Amino acid sequence: MENSLTDENRVIISCLLFSENVLKISDTFFNRYNNACFPP
């Protein structure tokens, strides 16, 4: 049981880290897009 709980936690943590990284990447992408299309 302990092993499966650990695996489940690992998957949840990976998902959280992955989605956080995706948000950071899309943030920088949209910042570049906005700067290119609508200069400050």
**Ranges of H-type helices in 1-40:** 2-37
Q: What is the pLDDT of residues 1-40, one digit of tens each?
A: 566 668 888 888 887 888 788 878 778 887 877 777 776 6
* Confidence (pLDDT) at 2: 61
Cα distances (Å, whole numbers) of residue 4 to 7, 11, 17, 25: 5, 11, 20, 31
* Confidence (pLDDT) at 19: 77
Cα–Cα–Cα angle for 9, 11, 13, rounded to 5 degrees? 70
* Sign (positive or negative) of CA dihedral 22, 27, 30, 35: negative
